Chain A
C-alpha cells in the first residue's frame, strides 16, 4: 500500500503541471455543447463507441440508441471516435449544426480477433502459429448438411473434396496433404483425416463398422452450422502439437456460439428451396441405340454368328423391346430443402449469460428415397459465483439425424451400377421395373443417429493471473439402422430384415492451470494440465432372410438357418499431460513452446507413451520503431517460424494383442463355416496380421515459415506460409516369411512428405468513400506429396482390392496412391503397324498367342520384350507410376459486394493439377468387349454411350483414337489400367452465389424488430472443368477414380429470411 502511495505523488504532481495551461486556455473560450448519433453502415446504432476531444480530456460514450452528448472546449476542436469493431473516425464538427450524424465503418483489421489455439486463445496479432480461421457467419444459412463441406475453399491449407452429393455423407478433408498409405483399397478411408475438437472436446470420429452396416451418416453432420461461432484450423506443428498424438494431420477447432450479456435477443432464420440433379451422362436411346448396336454387330460378327442376334435388337416391333428410356433419369427427382433455426440469447448481472438454439434441417436428395434430416438443440449457460471467481458453464447438446439411403449401397445409391445401365430399349413390366427401381416404398431403411453431449466447464480464478479450468464432457452417441427388403427384390427368396444398433460413450476430463504475468516488458503466459479420455463403443446386429412375409420388417420369425447375429465391444483410453509457455518482449519478439505427453491404451507396455514438443518464434516488425517512424503503411508485418512434432494413433484398439480368429472353419466353397466336424475352430490370426508388442507412434515433424502482413489498417492483408511436413513411422503391414504361417505384421515403416505453400490474400479494393463495398479473399494451397519410405527396403507396393487390373501403386518418390498404368500410344491402324520381335519375328503380343492386331490399342512396351503383360497382380514390367490422384492446388475465392442494403456473395472453389482415371468410360466399352460368347447379348442389354462423336477404329488404315469395338474376344482392349482413361481433374466451381437484402432499420424499429434480412442462395450454379469426359470433375473418389456410381453433386436453390428481435 505504501509503495502505491509513493507512486501516486509524482503522478499527481505531473497532472497538475500538465493541466495548468489547458485550464487557462479553457477559460478563454466558452464551452460548446454537442450531441449526435452514431450508426453503422446499415443504419443500426453503434453502442459503446468512445468519443474523445482532441487535445482534451473530455470524452463520452454512446448509449443504447447510439446517441452521445459532449462539451467541446472550442468550435475548432476535433473529435476522435473509436470502437473495437469499427475503424476510427476523426471529424471536425465545426461546420455542422444541431445533431451530428456519424457513420462508422466496420473495421477491416482482424488483428484483435481472437483465435483459439487449444486450451487457450490469443489475439491474431500475437500468434506465432499457422492458423486459418473463419467466422461462423460465413457458413450460416448455406444449404449444406454439415459444416465440413462448407469449409471447402474457405480455409487455406485445408482441402475439401465432396466426392458425393448425397445428403448426410462426409466429404474428404485433409489439412496440408494426405499422408495415409494403405495397399488395400478402401474407397471411404483414402485420406488422412484431421482431429476435430468441438468446444475443447476432441471428437471420436472413429468408425468400427463399414458404412453399409451402420448408418454411414457423417458424424460431423451433428453440429448445426448455424451454431458455429468460429472455425480455427491448426495447420502447423507448433499449434497442433498441443493435441499431441492425434494432431499429425491437423486439428480443426470448432467454437460454438455463447450467450452475450445484454438485452435478450431472438433470432429466427430459415430457408426453403429445391435441389436439382445435374446433367446426365449422354447415352443413346431408342432407334439410334438399336442402329448403332446393329452396326457394331454386323462389323464384328461372322455371318454364321449373325444368325443368332439377340431378339432385343432385331425384333423392333416387340412391345417389350421398343422403349427409349434413359434409365438414369428414372432415379432422379427434384428435392426440397428446408431449414429453420431459432436462437435466444442474453445475459444478466454478474456475468451470467445464456444461449439456446434449436434447428431443423431437411434435405431431400436428388435420387429417389435419399435424404437427410437433422434436429438440433443446444443450450449454453454461464454463471459466476464466489464473487465472480468461479465460472460455471454447462453446455447441453442434442442432435438427431435421420438419413434415407435409396436402394443401392454406400458406393452407389442406385441399385444398378453406372457402368451397366440397362438398354433404353427395354420396356419392363411393372414388377421388374419395381425391382430395378428398388420399390422404395416397400423397402424399409431407417438410419437414425442421435448425439447427446453434456459439458461442464468450471473455472476458478485464484487471482487475476492464475486460473484453474476444468472441462468435463460426456458424449453419448447412438445409431440405429433398420432395414428390410421385400421378397421380390430378393429374387423371390423371401423377405429380408436386419437391425443394427450401436452406442458410444466418450468421457473427457481436461484440467489445466493457466498463469499470466508481466515483468516490465517481459510478458509470460504459462499453461499446464492433464487430460483423460475414455471411449467405449458397442454394437449389436441381427439379420434374417428367407422370410415368409413382406409385412415383417423386423428380425422376427425367420428360420434358424437364416438368422445371423453379432455384437462388438471396443474401448480405448488416452492419458495426457501438456504444457505451453508463451513469452513476448515488448510485444515484438514472440516465443511459444509446448510439449505434450500422451499415453494410449492402443500400444503395448513398452511403447505406451509418446512425447510431442514444439517451438515457434515470431517477430512483429511493424512494432519496431524504425517501421513506426515514418507512418508506415503496414499495420502489421510479422515473421513467424515454427518447428514441432505431433503424432497419429493407429485405428486398431488392440494392436498389442495377438487376437485369435474364432469360428475359423471357412474354406473355399463355404465362407460361413465356423467349425470343423461341429467343433468351433479357433486359430491365431494368420491372415490378419501378427501382434507387435513394440509398435510405436506414427510421428509427424513439421516446420513452417510464415509472413503476415496487413496494410492500411486492414484494407489489404496477406498470410503466407511455407511448410514441410514429414510423417514417419506410419504403421504398415510387412509380409512375413511364408514359413511363419502369418501373412504380415505391422511395423512402423512408412514415410510420407507433404510440402507446399498456403496463401491468403484479402482486401477491400474499393475506396472507403465508394458506395459499393467489396470484400474479396483468395485462398490458395499448393501441396505436393511424396512417399519417402516404404518397408522391405523401399520396394514398390501395388494396391490390391481395387480393379482386376491393379491401377494404383505406392512407390518411393511418387505421390501417395499414384496411378499404375500402361502408356497408351494410340491405336494400331493396320496389322503391319504392330512391331515384331526382331529375334523371333513374333509380333508384339499380350500373353499366350494373343498378338496385337489392327484396331488394338498400342501400348508402350517398357521393358522391350515384345510382350505386354496381360495381367499382373504385382509389379508389371510394362506399367508406370503415372499421374497424381491427389489435388495439388486447391482453394477458394470469396467475394462480398455490398451496396446500400444489398449484399451479393460470389464464392468460387477450385482444384488444379489432379489426375483422374475414368473407369466409367472403360466399363462402358468393356460391357461388350470381353464377355465371350455372351457378348452380343451384353451389348444388347446395356445402355450404349453416344458413339457418334468418337473416333473409333472401324477398318484397316483408320487413324483412330478409340480401339475397335470387338465382341467377345477376351482381348481386353479397353482394360482400365491405361493412360487412355486418364483425364485432368481440374475445375473451378461457382460454389455459392447469394444475394441478400436487409430491410431499413428505422422501419423495423417501429415493429420492434432489430434486423430483417432476406436472402437467396444458389449452390453449385456453374462449373468450369478441363476434362470433357467427366460429368463432374469434383465427384471423384479419393483414389482419383470416377466410376459413375457416386452420388452426383446437385444444384440447390434456396430463399430464406433472418429476423432478429
Chain B
C-alpha cells in the first residue's frame, strides 16, 4: 500500500517539476517587426515615424495617377488633356465625377485619414517622451521634440486642407485610438470647423518650428515655419472666399491674415526666387525657392514610375514611351495664357514665346498636341534606357506662388494698382513679351486684373496642383472652363462625391449635397 502511494507521489513530483518552466513557452515576442510596445523609445524612432507620416502624405497625393494634380489641375479642363485609354479617367475633365473607377479612387478619402491618423499617433506618442529617451537626437531634446510635433501638426493640417478643398465638409478626428475598434464612425463636420482646426494646428506648428533648415539634406522636403505660413496663407484666402460660396465679398480679416502670413514668410523664410537661367532645375527639387515639396527623387531611390510628367512624354524624352502619349497640353491653354492680340494684323494673335515658362515647360507648341516638359527628369534604372523613373519632386508650395497671391490680396483689398504692378513686373521678370497687348493697362477693371492674375498663375503654376482652386477662389472659372456653371458653383458642385462604399459601415455619413442621387 505504502509503495503505491510512493509511486503516485513520484508521478505527481514528475509533473510538478515540469510545470513552472513551461509557462514561458506562452510568451513569444515578434522579431520580424517592431511593435507598439517596443517602439517610441528614441529620437530615431521619432524620425522614422515622421518619415512614415510624410510617406503617407506622398502616397495620398501620388495615388491614382497623382491625384494631387487630378484634383488641382485635370478638372480645370483646359490646362492639360487626358486621352481615352479605357480606364474612364478623362470624364473628370468635363465635370463628371461619377465614373465607377473615379469615384472609387478619387472619391475615396481614406488615404488622407491614414495621414491624419499617423499625425495623431505621433502627437500622442511623442508628446510624453522624456528627454532621456531622445538623447540620441544630437540636438536639444526639447527642440527635437518640437520639430517632430510641429511637422506632424503641419502634415495633419495639410491633409485636412486637401480634404476640405476636395469635399468641403469632412469627418474630423484628432484622436489616436489605443484600440481602433473603439473609434466612432464620424459624420461630416462643417468646413468651418475643419478650417478652424487647420488654423489652430498651423499656429501650434508655427510656434514649434523654426525658419530654415539645420540639415541641408532636409531642404524643401520637410516642413518648417515657412511651410506652415504658406499653408496658412492658402487657408486664409480659401476661407475668405469659399466658406460661403454665394458671398461676393471676401472676408477681410482672412485676407489680411493671409497678407500677414505671406509677409512673415517673405521676410523671415530666406527663400530666393529662381532666376531664369536655373528655372528648369527648380522642378527637379530642393531649390532655394521651394517652401514645401514631397521628395520623389531618384537620388534616394524614391522616384516614380507613374510620375505626373511621364504620360506627356514621347519617346524622344522617355525611351520606353508609347507612340502616342496619353496626356498633352491643349492649344486652348496657350490661347488662354500665352497669346495676345497682334496689333499689326487685327484678328490675329501672337504667342508670347519669350517667356521662360513657355520656353522651359513646353515643346511642339505648334502641333495639335503640345508636350509638357516641366517634369521630365527621367532616370533609367535599367541598362539601355529601361526602367524609367521620374525624379521630380512634387512641389506643393514655392515662393512664386506666395508672391503671386499677394496680387490676389491686393485685388481683394481693392488695391488694383498694386495688383497691376505686381502682375506686370512678374511677367517681365519671367521674360514675358513687353508688347503693350501683353501688359495690363493701369486703367484695367477689377475683372480684367483678376483675369490676368489667373493667366499669370496659369503660366507660373501650370501643373502644380493650384489652378482649379485659384479658379474657384477668384470666381474666374467661367473664363477658363466650361463645365462649371454659375448654378453648379452655387450648389457647390465642384466638390467631389464620396465613394459609396464608405457609407457601408457609417450611418452618420451623408453624400456631398450636389451629388445626392446622382451616383
Contact = CB atoms under 8 A, between A and B. Distances in A.
B367 interface: no
B348 interface: no
Closest 3 pairs (CB-CB, A-B) = A741-B117, A573-B25, A669-B304
Given A463-B4, A669-B304, A683 B52 contact: yes
Contact of A677 (B45, B116, B217): B217
Contact of B117 (A509, A561, A662, A686): A686
A675 B300 contact: yes
A283 to B, nearest CB: 28
A276 to B, nearest CB: 43
25 contacts: A493-B386, A530-B19, A533-B25, A534-B25, A568-B32, A572-B28, A573-B26, A654-B29, A659-B33, A662-B48, A668-B59, A669-B296, A672-B301, A673-B55, A673-B301, A680-B51, A690-B180, A739-B117, A739-B171, A739-B185, A740-B117, A741-B113, A741-B118, A741-B180, A742-B180
Contact of A735 (B18, B34, B50, B505): B505
Given A675-B300, A970-B86, A659 B35 contact: yes
Interface in B484-519: 500-502, 504-506
Contacts of B347: none
Interface stretch (B7-15, B196-204, B405-413): B7-15
Contact of A675 (B4, B37, B51, B172): B51
A774 interface: no
Given A683-B56, A735-B504, A740-B180, 20 more contacts: A571-B28, A573-B27, A573-B28, A601-B28, A657-B30, A659-B34, A660-B35, A667-B55, A668-B65, A672-B301, A675-B302, A682-B45, A684-B121, A687-B114, A739-B116, A739-B171, A739-B183, A741-B117, A745-B180, A847-B100
B383 A546 contact: yes
Contact of A690 (B172, B181, B184): B181
B54 A676 contact: yes
A600 interface: yes
B114 A741 contact: yes
A569 B33 CA distance: 10
A575 B26 contact: yes
B30 to A, nearest CB: 4
A546 B382 contact: yes
Contacts of B47: 679
Interface string B63-93: 1111000000000000000000010000000
A681 B50 CA distance: 7
A282 interface: no
Interface in B258-308: 295-296, 300-307
A125 interface: no
A678 interface: yes
A1027 interface: no
Nearest to A569: B31
B49 A682 contact: yes
A466 B221 contact: no
B126 to A, nearest CB: 13
Given A513-B11, A573-B28, A874-B501, A682 B34 contact: yes
Contacts of B118: 683-684, 686, 741
Nearest to B117: A741
Interface string A314-346: 000000000000000000000000000000000
A431 B504 CA distance: 53
Q: Interface centre among B52, B86, B118, B383, by most A CB within 10 Å?
A: B52
B295 A677 contact: yes
Nearest to B301: A673
A657 B27 CA distance: 12
Contact of B18 (A530, A682, A873): A530
B140 interface: no
A995 to B, nearest CB: 52
Given A740-B180, A792-B505, A599 B26 contact: yes
A511 B302 contact: no
Q: Interface centre among A570, A680, A682, A686, by most B CB within 10 Å?
A: A682
A681 B4 contact: no
Contacts of A546: 382-383
B39 interface: yes
A462 B104 CA distance: 71
Contacts of B177: 740
Interface string B451-464: 00000000000000
Contacts of A792: 504-505
A690 B179 contact: yes
Q: Interface centre among B26, B56, B62, B383, by most A CB within 10 Å?
A: B26
A660 B33 contact: yes
Nearest to B28: A601
Contacts of A568: 32
Interface string A212-236: 0000000000000000000000000
Nearest to A673: B302
Given A530-B15, A740-B117, A660 B300 contact: no
A740 B36 CA distance: 16
Contacts of B400: none
B139 interface: no
A653 B59 CA distance: 29
Interface in A449-467: 462-463, 466
Q: How large is the interface on B (under 10, 10 to 19, 20 to 34, 35 or more residues)?
A: 35 or more
B109 interface: yes
Interface of A: 462-463, 466, 468, 493-494, 509, 511, 513, 530, 532-534, 546, 561, 568-575, 599-601, 608, 653-654, 657-662, 664-670, 672-673, 675-684, 686-687, 690-693, 734-743, 745, 747, 792, 795, 847, 870-874, 932, 970
Contact of B63 (A601, A660, A668, A743): A668
B62 A575 contact: no
B22 interface: yes
A468 B186 contact: no
Contacts of A509: 18
A667 B51 contact: no
B244 interface: no
A671 B251 CA distance: 44
A661 B173 CA distance: 22
B428 interface: no
A116 to B, nearest CB: 24
A534 B22 CA distance: 10
Nearest to A932: B86
B51 A681 contact: yes
A572 B31 CA distance: 12
A382 B180 CA distance: 57
B222 interface: yes
Q: Interface centre among B63, B110, B172, B217, by most A CB within 10 Å?
A: B110
B361 interface: no
Contacts of A678: 217, 300, 302
A561 B506 contact: no
B305 A662 contact: no
A596 to B, nearest CB: 15
B100 A871 contact: yes
B180 A736 contact: yes
Contact of A682 (B11, B30, B48, B120): B48
Contacts of A692: 179, 181
A546 to B, nearest CB: 7
A309 B363 CA distance: 35
Q: Interface centre among A530, A575, A676, by most B CB within 10 Å?
A: A676
A571 B24 CA distance: 12
Contacts of B343: none
Contacts of A511: 14-15, 18
A665 B58 CA distance: 9
Interface string B99-113: 010001000011001
A72 B29 CA distance: 77
A686 B114 contact: yes
B381 interface: yes
A651 B244 CA distance: 53
B302 A676 contact: yes
A568 B32 CA distance: 6
